[in-house]
Structure 1
Amino acid sequence: MNLRDAPDFSEASGSDFSVKPCLTGERTVLRPFTEADAETMWEIIGDPEVIRFTFPANGELTLDRLRSWYATRSAQPDRLDLAVIDRANGELVGEVVLHEYDPYSRTCTFRTLIGPRGRGRGLGTEATRLIVGHGFEQLGLHRIQLELYGDNPRARRVYEKVGFVVEGVRREAAPREGGWVDEVLMALLDREWAALTATAR
């Protein structure tokens, strides 16, 4: 059987990305985005470290486009974009996203970006745990995967703390400052998450 001919089990997957939850931890709250978040996210996206490890500068990105983007996140039925809020001061410090949902394999891609005021205090780690837990426990995902640059050890430590496992490396896959950088592939499975959370209890 060709993969394209495989049956569609999306009805049975139980995933409902149309519900945009608020998820609360000890240090962070994850909540749906609004258009009013665009200006803060504009500042965060312009941070040099975010640009270095997330995406190259793009002249097509404008504040107006960002307003439109965040105004429509809550209407997306096949992905989940949540704002990361620092509980200590109520400040928006970044985002976590489950996207590229494949209903047949019950797989999502995870990505995150945390601005400078949210770093170094465990906010990104907790935010990652919250949305990953939601993905497995509420959306019925089987697998959550991600990619990161090989010269981003801080992000890799966060993902390993949460339980992600390195599956492979694309060697010298991206140009960087006159040289090349690896792309690291990581993933976490539902049964691995269940084992980790059972141990933590």
Structure 2
Amino acid sequence: MISDDVFATVPTLTTERLRLEPLGPEHFEGSWAALQDEESMRLTGTQSTFTEDQIRTWLAGLGDRHDRADWAVIRLEDGTHIGEVVLNDLDGQNESMNLRIALSGDAARGRGYGTEAVRAVLDHGFDTVGLHRISLDVFSFNPAAQRVYEKCGFLVEGRQRHTMNWDGEWVDSILMGILATDPRGV
């Protein structure tokens, strides 16, 4: 069983090209810019609009949330905030969580940053936190993200039909999961 306050302290994770640091108020500019990126909004299925005050309040409250981990994805080369990656929906009894990631801007997508960030979070979730299962869903119009998840070891577990209406068209969700005992890809 995993405690509901497992993320009382969210660690900084470092990879070859990225630093994943706890997301907070100091990341407002990057978070706000991501919410202005139409392609990022589409790929993540974000249909809501937010005010600056709502985002500032959300970021300020993350430090008090001990049942989830939100990281800003920072490119080491130039210190640019290129997205966020999150473990949320903790089910401590069943040692499972959900993963989501959003990279914003053309300079962030298609360069392997997503794969690098997801692998770091999987390693932390399984090897440090002690999770048994991490799951996610990805919209069917985002096959690039599905390939990233598969490279990291996620397996397709199912499909939910017509989970979102985007610009008048129904979109399916692909359900994916990985267990601590599964290979994590190459």
TM-score interval for Structure 1 and Structure 2 normalised by the shorter chain: over 0.9
The alpha-carbon distance between structure 1 residues 69 and 151, as it changes in their structure 2 partners (threshold 3 A), is same
Pick aligned residue for 2:112 from 106, 122, 134:
122
CA RMSD of aligned residues (A): 1.7
SS at match of 1:137: helix
Q: Which has the larger displacement, 64-73 or 17-26?
A: 64-73
Aligned residue number for residue 61 of structure 2: 72
Post-superposition shift, 1:196?
A: 3.7
The alpha-carbon distance between structure 1 residues 196 and 100, as it changes in their structure 2 partners (threshold 3 A), is closer
Cα distance in structure 2, aligned partners of 1:33 and 1:56: 19
Cα distance in structure 1, aligned partners of 2:24 and 2:164: 33
SS at match of 1:94: strand
C-alpha deviations, 1:116-141, integer Å up to 9, x for none?
Answer: 13112111110011011100001000
Cα distance in structure 2, aligned partners of 1:48 and 1:112: 16
Structure 1 runs of 4+ with >4 Å offset: none
Post-superposition shift, 1:170?
A: 0.8
Where do residues 1-12 of structure 1 align in structure 2 (5 Å cutoff)? 9-10=1-2
8 Å CA contact 1:80–1:98 kept in 2: the answer is yes
Pick aligned residue for 1:187 from 177, 180, 186:
177
Normalising by structure 1, we get a TM-score of 0.86
Report sequence identity in percent: 39
Does residue 99 (structure 1) correspond to residue 88 (structure 2)? The answer is yes
**Higher Cα Rg, which structure:** 1
The alpha-carbon distance between structure 1 residues 153 and 53, as it changes in their structure 2 partners (threshold 3 A), is same
Cα distance in structure 2, aligned partners of 1:84 and 1:165: 24
Aligned residue number for residue 141 of structure 1: 131
The alpha-carbon distance between structure 1 residues 34 and 10, as it changes in their structure 2 partners (threshold 3 A), is closer
8 Å CA contact 1:25–1:130 kept in 2: the answer is yes
**5+ residue gaps, structure 2:** none
The alpha-carbon distance between structure 1 residues 34 and 177, as it changes in their structure 2 partners (threshold 3 A), is closer
Cα distance in structure 2, aligned partners of 1:75 and 1:56: 24
Cα distance in structure 2, aligned partners of 1:68 and 1:174: 27
Cα distance in structure 2, aligned partners of 1:67 and 1:147: 27
Post-superposition shift, 1:148?
A: 0.9
Residue identity matched to 2:168: G
Cα distance in structure 1, aligned partners of 2:6 and 2:47: 33
Relative to total residues, which structure has the larger helix share, 1 or 2?
1
C-alpha deviations, 1:134-180, integer Å up to 9, x for none?
Answer: 00001000000001101101110110110100000012222122221
**5+ residue gaps, structure 1:** 1-8
The alpha-carbon distance between structure 1 residues 91 and 10, as it changes in their structure 2 partners (threshold 3 A), is closer
C-alpha deviations, 1:10-64, integer Å up to 9, x for none?
Answer: 45x9x721121011100111001231211221111221111112234324x1111
Post-superposition shift, 1:93?
A: 0.5
Cα distance in structure 2, aligned partners of 1:196 and 1:180: 32
Pick aligned residue for 2:154 from 149, 154, 164:
164
